[in-house]
Amino acid sequence: MKNYLYKQFYRNKAYTAALVFLLLAGIMAIYTGKKFLDRNQDIIAKSEQFQKESIEKNVKYHKDDLGLILYYIKFNLINETPELAALNMGMRDLNPSIQGVTMRNLEEQRYNADFYNPANAAVGNFDFSFVLVFLFPLIIVAFCYNLISEEEESGRWKLLSVQSRHLGKLLDMKLLIRCIAVSAVYLVLILLAGIWISIPINKAFAVFILSGWLYIIFWFALCRWIISFRKSSAQNALILLIVWVGMNFIIPMSSNMIIQKSYPVQESLKAVMQQREGYHNKWDEAKQPTMEKFYKAYPQFRKFTVEENDSFTWTWYYAMQHMGDLEASLSSEQYREKMKKRNRAAEILGYFLPNIHTQLTESQLAGTGMDNHLKYSSALQKFHEQKRLFFYPLVFSGKNADSVDWNLQTVQSFREPDSWSLLKIFSPFFIIITLLIILSQNKFRKLC
């Protein structure tokens, strides 16, 4: 019987064509991810050369004015991109993997990357995670929606019920054959991606593979439960498609609207405006109040005095720039906190919707999600402060370019430490899959 069921499945040209389509879609997605990763690495390599050339050019033409050199030079901080990002691009196409900052105000530079066409974000990426989350379930539904109803509608069900006392096992064997076929395509694509992209075999890659496979198992468990009600083929197909549309579009979009309304984010634009107003107004204000606030923040620089009648000094200028950041710091912090709350709300929703949980899990493993972006943003702030505290004494003392070893001013990198929990990743899958199997098993026992 087992051999017959295998032959029956693989001789069906429609099933074979569906598997080939899934394989080709996966290969295209992997190719897209590989091109994205290569382009990203090329940008990083060019930015290193650009920073070096920028330093050389500015030192050549402004050798005696270190303050002016630092006005122009951008110091780059790389947000390291793991190879897994090729399988899940996440937010990396909108939020750059490298950002350069000058010695001037940070807030305006930090949020320059936030102003993108919203339509770009809505389109999404045709990466491997897209194929897994959206296309694999459709093939699974096409394979499973009529396992019982087709037999009943053709009149073979009564004959099978007479010949076999274990119809439930027969149906499970059919499901298993389909699960093996789909899982084989999934593993072939993963193997191809690992070789093609040179993904290191580590814990993150293993968890990535297993989470994707559990998502496939979830859809087979869901199909098993739906067909156990013994509805017609049309009804089963309609129910499963409604579930697919609801999980992937209606519920996420509705939830996104609720989350945005619950945690409205205007603080990034507000921070930029406050920062601009903060330092632009300083041109028309007395210098001493600005310097006192600066000395309060950095008492170690109090020895670098600024007179009220001084026409222009780099000490006052960079102090004024930093005051703009301080005046916008509250809005900046509120922005980050609201984005964390939005991300947390999405994670909670993912505990009930495996598609969202799979996307969030894989973006976390690939370092392409919101959590990574927020951590990189905090690292950029620390990076900017380190540069300022290193150069402030030199600029304030009137040193020239020769006082700096520019060979040490290279591009630096940020790598997000692994902070994911296996329990949080796998428990939602196991709970939902187990629940669906239990619910469908009660009905499978009644088959006759």
Strands 412-414 and 98-101: unpaired
- For the chain, report the end-to-end CA distance as a whole number of angstroms: 18
pLDDT at 8: 82
Q: Give the residues across from 412 on adjacent strands.
A: 77
pLDDT at 116: 39
Cα separation of 32 and 359, whole Å?
17
Q: Give the residues across from 98 on adjacent strands.
A: 78
Q: Give the residues across from 414 on adjacent strands.
A: 79
For the entire predicted model, the pTM comes to 0.91
DSSP H or E segment with residue 63 = none
DSSP H or E segment with residue 299 = none
Tokens linked to 275 = 């920062």
Cα separation of 173 and 220, whole Å?
12
Cα separation of 97 and 442, whole Å?
51
pLDDT at 396: 96
CB proximity list for 379: less than 8 A, separation 6 or greater: 77, 79, 414
Tell me the mean pLDDT per 10 residues along the chain, length 448. Answer: 80 94 97 94 91 95 94 95 94 85 85 44 71 97 90 68 70 93 98 97 96 98 94 94 96 91 73 63 81 94 91 90 83 86 93 96 94 93 96 95 94 91 96 96 74
pLDDT at 118: 36
pLDDT at 122: 38
Burial of 396 (0-12, 13-18, 19+ CB in 10 A): buried
pLDDT at 164: 63
Tokens linked to 48 = 């290193």
Q: Compute the half-sphere exposure of residue 299: CA atoms within 13 Å on the CB side of its CA.
A: 1
Cβ neighbours of 303 (radius 10 Å): 10
pLDDT at 269: 60
pLDDT at 121: 38
pLDDT at 120: 37
Query: CB–CB of 23/185 below 8 Å?
Result: yes
Q: Give the residues across from 78 on adjacent strands.
A: 98, 413
SS3 breakdown of the chain: % helix, strand, coil, rounded to 5?
Answer: 75, 5, 20
